[in-house]
Amino acid sequence: MAGMQTRNWTLDPADRIAELERENAKLQRINKVLMDRVERSMDFQGGAFSLFQTAIVLEQKIRERTLELERALHKLEDSNRDLARAKELADTMRTRLFEAIESVNEGFALFDSADRLVLCNRKYLSYWPSVAGRIQAGIRFNDLVAMVAAAGAVAEPPPDVWLRERMEHRHDLKGVFLNRLSDGRWIQVNERRTRDGGIVGVYTDITVIKREEERRRASEQAEKSALMMLNDQLQQAKSQADQANLSKTRFIAAASHDLLQPLNAARLFVSALADLEQPAANAELVDNIDLALASVEDLLSALLDISKLDAGAVTPDVTDFPLRGILAPLATEYAAVAAERGIDLKVVGSGAVVRSDMRLLRRIVQNFLSNALRYVQGGRVVVGCRRTGDGSIRIEVWDNGPGIPRDKIGEIFQEFRRLDTPVTKGRDRGMGLGLAIVDRVARMLDHPITVRSEPGRGSVFAVTVPRGTERRAVRPASIAARPMTNRLAGTSVLVLDNEPAVVAGMEALLRGWACDVVSATNGDEALALLSGMPQPPDLLIADYHLDDGALGVNEVARLRAACGRILPAVIVTANRTPELADEAKAAGCLVLNKPVKPAQLRAVMSGLVG
């Protein structure tokens, strides 16, 4: 019995009551059996003593069973009391759960393992006002969403599409599901499975967030449209600037050509005067005029180069070539200048092969060298090459001139910026454009420029060039200007130029060299002169641009055809483009750029007729 009592306390209240009722029935059956036994015993023995003894035993048994029954009833009362308290607590917890669900700002819905609605809050029902009255506990989820779709409670996508997508998401439960309701609200659904296989869903109103996103997208779209409009305006402005820049380049080219024509004539006249014997005072004036004209020539040439670089009219011709193709001609060209100024010039040869534009790289090194010679007085200038850590070649120009203050190094690469030192006077001061051209060319070629300088001790200008992988033939060096006193005497020359001043200057210069000169201003006139000559001329000198669109190379071809042989010819032009040089080369003509340097012209003529 004690074991039974212990077991009763381990059962829940309902089971404990049932157990006590079974014990009570059992006790009643035992009492009945005992009573029957006593009665039979009395029948058999019939004795008073036996009856008395039986009554005592029966009383004892009844008392024991009565006590057990009382204890069982007490336990039953306790169990009923515990059961009432548990039911009260469960009702309280359910009420609190409902209150908590109702108090949240989000919609809440709980479905059981059969996907039937267990409970939901009013917020959840507020999302479906057209069908809220039909949503009751026990409704299946698929019936609920079909009812929502049929009522048109969702704005997009179409009801059948929305219904299919909603059920697919219900099956996977991956991520969130967005609903755009017909009243304009946006609802975000987050669903998770419970341990018993049910589904709990939280429905959040994200209308404010969505509207903010729409405003942000609209703002971004407006900004994008504004940026696109601004970009179009910038593109248009850039196009206009490029067109203006191109127009500026064309204007400078045309102006340079127009300026170089009279400048060329003036240089020819001055050279002709210099060849004549003059009084000392006149000779000094002629030299000063020549220096002034040379300065104008350098300025025009630099301005034309800068305008072409700024307009992108210069296209690099990158090849692999040995550096000696640049260094050797520069050493020859500047040897006389260095000797005249008492400068010890040393150009260290190099067999390195680099990859660059030979013509433009030569321009960089030439500017470094000419600057060094300009600022050094009676000192030393060294040109050499070094290998860098990455295998590139650094071409360096060293001088022991006055040096450059550290705060002035950046300024020397700007247009018309030059340093005034005691050794730079007159023509030696330069135009302040050489290093500006170097900076543009180096950036176009992607060749780093470095400068190291210390005031009072000199400077080092360097350009770093990629190493080449192939060896190319070196371009032939320019013909060095050498004094030729008698080789041109008696040379027959036909000059073709549409500018009378240039023709007059060329005639004066050539006759000063004892040449026989005939001149024409157009091709027909030149053909007429040619037909009257006893023999063809030894040399043709023709301007490239003639009147009425005629070109010097074409007129040279006509004159050669009339003579029946290839006459040596020199084309004189202010156009410095590679295309013109290639055209003249294809026609078998040499090119000299205006203004023509008399010494260079004399050397070229001597080479052609010698």
Asked whether the predicted pLDDT for residue 483 surpasses 50, the reply is no
Question: Cα 478–432–409 angle (5° rounding)?
Answer: 110
Q: Does residue 256 have a pLDDT over 70?
A: no
Q: Copy the structure tokens of residue 373.
A: 């010679």
**Cβ proximity of 592 and 604 under 8 Å:** yes
**Residue corresponding to tokens 């060896």:** 471
Which H/E stretch holds residue 126?
A: helix 122-126
Residue with tokens 């040109």: 383
Residues ≥6 apart with Cβ < 8 Å to 397: 365, 368, 369, 372, 381, 382, 383, 460, 461, 462
Three-state secondary-structure class, residue 197 = coil
Average of pLDDT values for 418-447?
65
Q: Which residues contact 197 (CB under 8 A, 6 or more apart)?
A: 112, 113
More confident residue, 282 or 591: 591
- Of 285-299, 367-381, 548-562, least confident by mean pLDDT is 285-299
* Distance of alpha carbon 36 from alpha carbon 54, whole angstroms: 11
CB under 8 Å to 541, separation ≥6 — which residues? Answer: 493, 494, 495, 496, 497, 506, 569, 570, 572
Q: Determine the Cα angle at 127 with ends 119 and 196, to 5°.
A: 30
Q: What is the mean pLDDT of residues 325-338?
A: 83
The arithmetic mean of pLDDT across residues 589-604, rounded, is: 83
Burial class (CB in 10 A: 0-12, 13-18, 19+), 436: buried
Lookup: tokens for 119: 């409970």
Token couple for 606: 């001597």
Element (H, E) at 453: strand 449-454
Compute the distance between CA of residue 559 and CA of residue 550 in angstroms, rounded to an integer.
14
Per-residue pLDDT at 302: 55
- The tens digit of pLDDT for each residue in 27-70 reads 778 877 777 776 665 555 555 666 677 777 777 878 887 888 78
Sheet of strand 107-111, all strands in order from the earlier edge strand to the far edge? 117-120, 107-111, 199-205, 186-193, 177-181, 154-156
pLDDT tens for each residue of 464-480: 999 888 654 444 444 34
Residue 74: phi, psi to the nearest 5? Answer: -60, -45
Please write the tens of the pLDDT for every residue from 142-162: 999 999 999 988 988 898 999
Detail the DSSP E strand segments found in 293-379.
318-322, 344-347, 353-357
Terminal Cα distance for the chain, rounded: 148
Q: Tell me the one-letter amino acid at 195.
A: R
Measuring CA to CA, how many Å separate 7 from each of 77, 83, 186? Answer: 17, 17, 58
Helix (H, G, I), strand (E, B) or coil at 370: helix
pTM recorded for the entire structure: 0.41
Residue 116 clears pLDDT 90, i.e. is over it: yes
Q: How many whole angstroms separate alpha carbon 609 and alpha carbon 339?
A: 30
